[in-house]
Amino acid sequence: MNTNTQNHLKTIIFIIFVGTALLLSSCVPQKKIRYVQNKNKKDTINTFILKQRPKNTVQPFDNLYIKVISPDLETSQMFNSESSNAVQQSVNYNMISYTVNDSGYVDFPFVGLIYVKDLTILQAKDTIQDALQQYISNAAVIVKFVGKSVTVIGEVMRQGEYVIYSDDISIFKALALAGGITDFGNREEVIIIREDDKKVSYHTIDLTDKKVALSDFYYLKPNDIVVVQPLGQKSYGFAQFPYTLLLTGLTTLIVVLSFISNL
């Protein structure tokens, strides 16, 4: 084998080495993309007692769907008709919502201002129903939140704001709405941004740990923002790396190497 052939061979070996190193460095270990693992291998506990779910209370500028049900059709139509304070909402079905003002009152037709700030949805229902007693004694009231949402951004399949209809949405349910975390999302450092009492706080949870269920932020609150940060491989640009092209090139080089070695 002459000197030129040896130099070509060294060059090809170097290229194969660099290509293999790039390919291996871009791989994400399986433990980084698996959820709810036992971080401590000696820990065999699989059942956890969840902490109390956060109470979803009525706050200024919330929209409430309020419907009065009565055996008297005329009475039902009177209370459920559209008013100047009602805003049409496009949720599961056409709802008429009433906006809670900045002082915590909802202005309901014929009844007037009803204070509902800091009440749960059941407490607001009872309060509105009590206020209706002077107008109608045999009516029932349905009250629902309208337009409550959480926002999911970062390394997920579908970033966006998602409307929620229950008070018990967990971090996993919210991520499922966004299509799940991509392979290059950092499951160990998911940030939850929460605005509460005019304060913004940031909290980090580890979704690869089974004990995430014990976190105070396992259940989300309306208006929470979930941020999934990228792994190091993503930040270096390997998420879009042309693996197929690299593998094809390496295969070709190996064939050439075999040919040269036989010269």
> How much of the chain, in percent, has pLDDT values that exceed 70?
59
Q: pTM for the full model?
A: 0.64
**Domain of 197?**
31-53+148-235
Asked if residue 67 and residue 49 are part of one domain, the reply reads no
177 located within any domain: yes
Query: Residue 189's closest CA among 208, 173, 209, 205?
Result: 205
| Location of structure tokens 């709405």 | 177
* pLDDT at residue 196, rounded to an integer: 78
In angstroms, the CA 263 to CA 82 distance is: 90
69 located within any domain: yes
Asked if residue 228 and residue 158 are part of one domain, the reply reads yes
Handedness of CA 34, 36, 40, 41 (dihedral sign): negative
Q: Which of 98, 113, 146 is the last residue of a domain?
A: 146
Asked if residue 156 and residue 230 are part of one domain, the reply reads yes
Asked if residue 231 and residue 154 are part of one domain, the reply reads yes
Asked if residue 175 and residue 120 are part of one domain, the reply reads no
Asked if residue 184 and residue 112 are part of one domain, the reply reads no
Say if strands 63-69 and 94-99 run parallel, antiparallel, or are unpaired: antiparallel
CATH code assigned at 89: 3.30.1950.10
- Whether 37 has a pLDDT exceeding 80, the answer reads no
* pLDDT at residue 195, rounded to an integer: 87
3-class SS of residue 28? coil
98-114 average pLDDT score: 91
13 located within any domain: yes
Asked if residue 176 and residue 124 are part of one domain, the reply reads no
Q: Which of 109, 131, 146 is the last residue of a domain?
A: 146
Asked if residue 205 and residue 179 are part of one domain, the reply reads yes
Q: How far is CA 30 from CA 163, 196, 208, 217, in A?
A: 32, 36, 11, 25
114 located within any domain: yes
Most confident of 48-52, 89-93, 225-229, 250-254: 225-229
- Whether 106 has a pLDDT exceeding 90, the answer reads yes
Asked if residue 229 and residue 255 are part of one domain, the reply reads no
> Which band of pLDDT confidence, cut at 50, 70 and 90, is reported for residue 84?
very low
If one counts the domains in the chain, the total is: 3
Q: What is the pLDDT of residues 166-225, one digit of tens each?
A: 767 899 999 999 999 998 899 999 999 998 777 899 999 999 988 888 888 999 988 999
Query: Residue 106's closest CA among 121, 93, 92?
Result: 121
- Whether 115 has a pLDDT exceeding 80, the answer reads yes
223 located within any domain: yes
Q: What is the pLDDT of residues 60-76, one digit of tens each?
A: 888 898 888 877 777 66
58 located within any domain: no
Torsions phi, psi of 46, nearest 5?
Answer: -120, 0
Q: Which of 146, 169, 190 is the last residue of a domain?
A: 146
84 or 125: which leads in pLDDT:
125
Asked if residue 163 and residue 111 are part of one domain, the reply reads no
Asked if residue 252 and residue 229 are part of one domain, the reply reads no
3-class SS of residue 150? strand
242 or 78: which leads in pLDDT:
78
Q: Note the Cα 57 to chain centre separation in Å.
A: 20
140-148 average pLDDT score: 86
Asked if residue 230 and residue 122 are part of one domain, the reply reads no
